[in-house]
Every structure is written in C-alpha cells, then in structure tokens.
Amino acid sequence: MSATARKAGFGAALWDYLTTVDHKKIGILYLVAGIFFFILGGLEAMLIRIQLISPNNEFISAQFYNEVLTMHGTTMIFLAAMPLIFALMNAVVPLQIGARDVAFPFVNSLGFWLFFFGGVMLNVSWFVTGAPDAGWTAYAPLSIFSEGHGVDFYAIGLQISGFGTLMGGINFIVTVVNMRAPGMTYMRMPLFTWTAFIASVLILFAFPALTVGLFMLTFDRLFGANFFDPAMGGNAIIWEHLFWIFGHPEVYILILPAFGVFSEVIPTFAKKRLFGYSSMVFATVLIAFLGFMVWAHHMFTVGLGPIANSIFAVATMAIAVPTGIKIFNWLFTLWGGSIRLTSPMVFALGFIPTFTIGGMTGVMLASAAADFQYHDSYFVVAHFHYVIVGGVVLGLFAGIIYWWPKMFGTMLNEKLNHWFFWLFFIGFHLTFFIQHFLGLMGMPRRYWKFLPDQGLDLFNLISTIGAFFMAVGTIVFLYNVIITQVKGVKVSGDPWDARTLEWAIPSPPPFYNFKQEPLVRGLDPLWIEKTEGNGKIQPATPLGDIHMPNNSFVPFMMSLGLFIAGFGVMFQGTYWVLAVIGFGITAGSMLYRSFKDDLGYHVHKEDLEDEKGDGSNG
C-alpha cells in the first residue's frame, strides 16, 4: 500500500513525492516546479524592464543583461510553460479518458525528475561562472565564442530536461491511444485531451532536433568539434535550422494545450457544448501538421533566398486558417449560451481578443518581405508575448484555476482571481501593445540600452509600468494560493457544474481514480448523464481488484546521476571523476530497474468496498 502513504510526517510526505509514480502527484510536482520557475523568469523580466525604463540606463551591466534576457527566455519556455502544461496534462488527461493511470507511470516520474534536474542545472550557472548569455536561441557562433561555462550549462541543462520532456510526450501518446475507458472513442475525447495528445506527438518529433543541435553545441564547445566554426568548414546556419525545426513546433506544443483548456472552460461556463467539435479537432491536427513546415519563417533575413522565403511565408499564412476556425468556434460556443463570468471564464474571454491580435501580427510577420522590417525588433517581442503570454499563460492560469479543485480539493478565492486577472491583463497590454510600435520605430530586440532623442523613451517607460502591474497581479495569485491552502475548505467533486469525466469523481480523486471503469456514452459524458440520466456515470465493469504500480526512487537517482555527470563533462580535467560517478549512478539505476521485477500490487475488491465514495459523482 505504498502509494497511499498513510504514514504521517513531513519526511514521509517528502519521500512519497520523491518516489511517487501517481500521475496526480506528479502533476502537483510539475505545478510547483513550474510556478517556481515562472516566478524566477518573472523576476528576470522585471530586471529587463527596469533596465529599459529610461534611455542610457546603467541599472545592470551589459553582460549581466544578456545573461538575464537569455535566462528569462529559456526559463519561461522550458522551465515554466512546459512543466505547467505537463502539470495540467498529468492532472487531467488520465481522468478525462477514464483511465486509472498513465501508460508508463515510471517513465512519467522519470520525465519529471529529468526536467527538474535539468532546470536546476541551468540555474546553477548563476553561481558558477555566470549564466548563458547568447539568447534563448543560442545562435552559433556567438554561443560557441561565449566565455565561461554559461552556454555549457544551457546545452547540458536543456539536454537533460529535454530527455524528460520527450519521455513525458511518449507517455501521453500511449496513454491516450491505449488507456481510454470503454466507449471513449477518439471523437468523444475532450478537446484538452486531444490537444495534449497532439502536443505530445509534436514533442516526439520536434525535440530530437533540439537534442541533436544541443549535442553539436556541446561537442563544439567542449570537445573541439567544428560544426559551427566557419574557419574549419563549419556552418553556423545549421544551428539555426535545427533550433527552429524544434523551436517552431515548440510554440504549438505550448499553445495547443492552452487552446484545449479554453475549449473546456468555455463550454462549461457557457453551458453549451463546444461548437464545431470535429472541426476543432481537425484544426488542431492541421495546425500541428503545418507547424512542422514553417520553421524557416524565423530565418527570413538569414539569406535563404526569395524562393525559400516565399514558400515558408505562404505556408505560415496557411496556419492562420485553422487558428481562425478555432476563434470563431469559441465565439459561437458562447453564442446562445448562458455565460457565467467565473474566473477561468474571464481568463478565457481575455484570451480571445489578445490572441487574435497575436495571430494577426503573426500573419504580418509571415509576410516575408515585410518581416525584413519586423524581424528581431520589438515588434517580434510584442508578437510572441501576445501569443505566449496572451495565449499560453492565460490558458495555463485558466486551467490551473479551473482544475485547482480537482487537484487539491479546495477552491481558489474567486474575488482575488478576478483581481489577479485584471491586474495581469491590463499590465500585459500596457507592457506589450506599445512594443509593436517600439519595434517599428527602430528598436531592435535584446537591447541592453536604447539611446535618448530617438523617440523611444516614452513607450519604454509605459512598457515598464505595465510590467509592474503584471508583477502585482502574480503576487495576488500567490497570496490566493497560500490563503486557500491554509484555510483548506473542501469542495465537492463537481464545483463548476462541468461536463467531462474528471468531474464525475471526488476532488481530489482517490489514487486509483475510478473504482470501476466508467462507461462513456458520448462527448461530454458527465453532461449526458446529468441531462439524460441520473447524473452519475455508469460503470463499464464490475467492481474488481485494481492493479497499481509501485513507487520508485529509481527515476530520481537516474536523473541525479545525469545531473552530476553534466558537471564532469563540463569542467573536465579532474572533474571527469564526476562524470564517471554520475553516469555510473544512472547506469546502475537502470540495471537495478531492469534486474528487479516490478509487478506492482493490487488493491483488493474488499478494501475498495470499504472506501468512501462510489467512484462516481457525489
């Protein structure tokens, strides 16, 4: 009965989380780590905005500024947005498809610990020789020439956390394909599950390109390889291709699950089924597919020639079509509904105009010729913040607030959530809308300082003021989390009057999720039972023993091994011993795992009958 961790005490709880293979607990781990890194990345953003509050400002040095901007981007994408996406996927996807667990609980845990140690490694760089300073894109040869070990930390840290993400991705693909409850056909899957599934496919095919790129960067820097060194026949543009072959799908890896969140939140609070469900699914798949063939729109100014530029420009514009379909489907889900302005819904409603602007500037950027002006200017900065903050971050917060009761059994304070939204939303537009103009007025991105008398002073000041609004908003949210958890008022299994399967079980769910496998009779199964049945999901199978996986400390040790080995590879010399130790720990853990049979255990029928709750809503 290790999974339930009946033992009391902090030590026991800690050990439970270090060894857990329960997707719900892993979801919480992702959430905590993701929010931590989100705050860290936010502080870095504040440093950037304070530096740019006035012309010729010398608040921080040029070198430190480059480190801050690099770490801001890297942290926000890889260490905040990705894990928060995984937090929601872990917390929700198995429940939405009526599964008792994910396909690979062990791999799931390994994925988290690899991500976590990779993230820690990246941030250790602050204290050892300085953080990476070549931008989150780490374009060669700047990243090759960069002194110190900052970029090594970038390459090895991301490599480790990238492995974790890849494993998480495979886990969710197989979970969705193999673990669906009886009756949960593909076209009955909730949109969030669909988008998580497609995002996982994107992870699977996009991350290996980054893996290869990072290996080359590491080999160039640490082992004298010549991939990107022009003097030895290398070519710096290869890095750009590999990075963006990964990097562009990455954008969709982030935004698609956010779309999924909105596709859950909007129908719930409009009390209406999702308009055009099948075209939403189709649009998701199409966006993912097109997302793989547009990477070079990040490289219009590289000099690929007009033919390549035109092809990539038109392909990029094509993505606007399925995205537009989604926007209109959401609008028409609202049409004729009965809209409740709860806080997740307010985030969703804030998202629609914001993301529309982000999408529009996206199309403008897709126009290759015009991109010669936009590229690498603050226009681009504004664009991708509209997409990533206005799309992904609003989506993540909508999702976190929406599923908070399911994850923790408590309800965040609605009033504070509204305060959070308005501060964050107004601050966001103040910060970033104006940056479109800064870019067109001639301010390139990644500028440590801008000069006086160039007409850039006022807008930069406004932008910085907006950033403070966002910071205050985030503080309100954190305060809300703390007081909610301290009060600890429990809520029912279905506090939002929602539609999908996860709301049919108690909050938080028992560790085996569903006592009996649920029978799914259509899209929005809980809603169907509410309107056509007795409000309870019918079981598909009789009550029986439930097979559960054992907890394991191996994932933690495997990841720790790679973390230690990373330092050895980086510092070399006598530090090679660290690499030997680290790889030894990882290999030993793998052998241990493969030599010790892990058959899991069974929760017995008799025990289940004693447990409270009947596995359905109530």
Partner 1 sequence: MMKGWMSKFKAIFALVVLALVLSGCTGKPFLSALQPKGEGAEMIYDLMILSIIIMLVVFVVVMVIYTFVIVKYRQKKDDPDFMPKQTEGNHALETLWTVIPIILLLILAVPTVQYTFALADTSPELNEEGEEQDSLWVNITGAQYWWHFEYQDMEVSTSQELYIPVDRRVYLSMGSQDVIHSFWVPSIDGKMDVNPTGNTNEMTLLAKEEGVYWGKCAELCGPSHSIMDFKVIAVSPGEFEQWIKDMQGVTGEETPESATAQEGQQLFQDNCMTCHAIGSSPNKIGPNLTNFGDRIKLGGYLDYNKENLVEWIQTKGLGEDGNMKPGNQMTSAPYELSDEEAAKIAEYLMTLSPSGITPENAKDGVYKDSDLKSLFPKEEEETEGQGESQEDNKDEESSQGSDESSDGSNEGSSEENNDE
Partner 2 sequence: MADDMLKSDNLPQNPERASLEGRNKFMGFWFFLGGETVLFASLFGTYLALRNSPAEGPTASEIFGLELVFIMTIVLLTSSLTSVYAMYHMKNGDFKKMQLWLGITVALGFTFLGFEIYEFYHYVHGYHFGYTTSAFSSAFYTLVGFHGGHVAFGLAWIISLMIRNAKRGINLYNAPKFYIASLYWHFIDVVWVFIFTVVYLMGKVG
| 204 near partner 2, judged by CB under 8 A | yes
| Binders of partner 2 in range 583-612 (CB under 8 A) | 591, 594-595, 597, 599-602
Q: Residue 64, class by beta-carbon neighbours within 10 Å (0-12 exposed, 13-18 middle, 19+ buried)?
A: middle
Instruction: Look up residue 241 and give its amino acid.
Output: H
Which one of 54, 123, 211, 356 is in contact with partner 2 (CB under 8 A)?
211
Closest CB to partner 1 among residues 509, 525: 525
Which one of 437, 468, 553, 571 is in contact with partner 1 (CB under 8 A)?
437
Q: Which two tokens stand for residue 2?
A: 């290790």
Which residue has 């917060």 as its token pair?
A: 397
Distance of alpha carbon 325 from alpha carbon 322, whole angstroms: 5
| 139 near partner 2, judged by CB under 8 A | no
Q: Segment near partner 2 (CB under 8 A), from 100-108, 153-161, 319-327, 514-522?
A: 100-108
Report yes or no: 379 and 360 within 8 Å, Cβ to Cβ. Answer: no
| 223 near partner 2, judged by CB under 8 A | yes
| Binders of partner 2 in range 361-420 (CB under 8 A) | none
| Eight-state DSSP code of residue 231 | G
Q: Segment near partner 1 (CB under 8 A), from 12-20, 336-344, 463-471, 609-617?
A: 336-344
| 224 near partner 2, judged by CB under 8 A | yes
275 binds, among partner 1, partner 2, none (CB under 5 to 8 A by kind): partner 1
605 binds, among partner 2, partner 1, none (CB under 5 to 8 A by kind): none
Side-chain-facing half-sphere of 180: CA atoms under 13 Å: 17
Report yes or no: 131 and 70 within 8 Å, Cβ to Cβ. Answer: yes
Distance of alpha carbon 95 from alpha carbon 224, whole angstroms: 49
Q: Segment near partner 1 (CB under 8 A), from 124-132, 180-188, 345-353, 597-605?
A: 345-353
545 binds, among partner 1, partner 2, none (CB under 5 to 8 A by kind): partner 2
Nearest approach in angstroms of CB 205 to partner 2 is 5
Q: Mapped to the 3 state alphabet, what secondary structure does 22-71 carry?
A: CHHHHHHHHHHHHHHHHHHHHHHHHHHHHHCCCCCCCCCCHHHHHHHHHH
| 478 near partner 1, judged by CB under 8 A | no
Side-chain-facing half-sphere of 595: CA atoms under 13 Å: 6
Is the N-terminal amide bond of 444 cis, ω within 30° of 0?
no
| 216 near partner 2, judged by CB under 8 A | yes
356 binds, among partner 2, partner 1, none (CB under 5 to 8 A by kind): partner 1
Distance of alpha carbon 122 from alpha carbon 606, whole angstroms: 49
| 495 near partner 1, judged by CB under 8 A | no
| Binders of partner 1 in range 114-133 (CB under 8 A) | 133
Instruction: Look up residue 217 and give its amino acid.
Output: L
Question: Rg of the Cα trace of the chain?
Answer: 24
The DSSP element (H or E) to which 313 belongs, if any, is helix 306-334
Site track 163-182 with partner 2 (rule: CB under 8 A), x = hit = ---x---xx-xx--xxx---
Q: Is 91 helix (H, G, I), strand (E, B) or coil?
A: helix
| 227 near partner 1, judged by CB under 8 A | no
Chain centroid to CA 478: 19
Distance of alpha carbon 429 from alpha carbon 394, whole angstroms: 13
Closest CB to partner 1 among residues 206, 255: 255
| 440 near partner 1, judged by CB under 8 A | yes
| 368 near partner 1, judged by CB under 8 A | yes
Nearest approach in angstroms of CB 197 to partner 2 is 12
Site track 261-280 with partner 1 (rule: CB under 8 A), x = hit = ---------xxxx-xxxxx-
Name every residue whose Cβ is closer than 8 Å to that of residue 187 and which is 6 or more positions away in sequence.
277, 278, 281, 523
Site track 30-59 with partner 1 (rule: CB under 8 A), x = hit = ----------------------------x-
Alpha-helical runs (H) found in 271-305: 277-291
| Eight-state DSSP code of residue 189 | S
| 233 near partner 2, judged by CB under 8 A | yes
Site track 446-475 with partner 1 (rule: CB under 8 A), x = hit = xxxxxxxxxxx-x-----------------
| 248 near partner 2, judged by CB under 8 A | no
Distance of alpha carbon 470 from alpha carbon 426, whole angstroms: 8
- Could you list the residues that contact partner 2 (CB under 8 A)? 103-104, 107, 166, 170-171, 173-174, 177-179, 204-209, 211-213, 215-216, 219-220, 223-227, 229, 231-235, 238, 241-242, 245, 545, 547, 591, 594-595, 597, 599-602
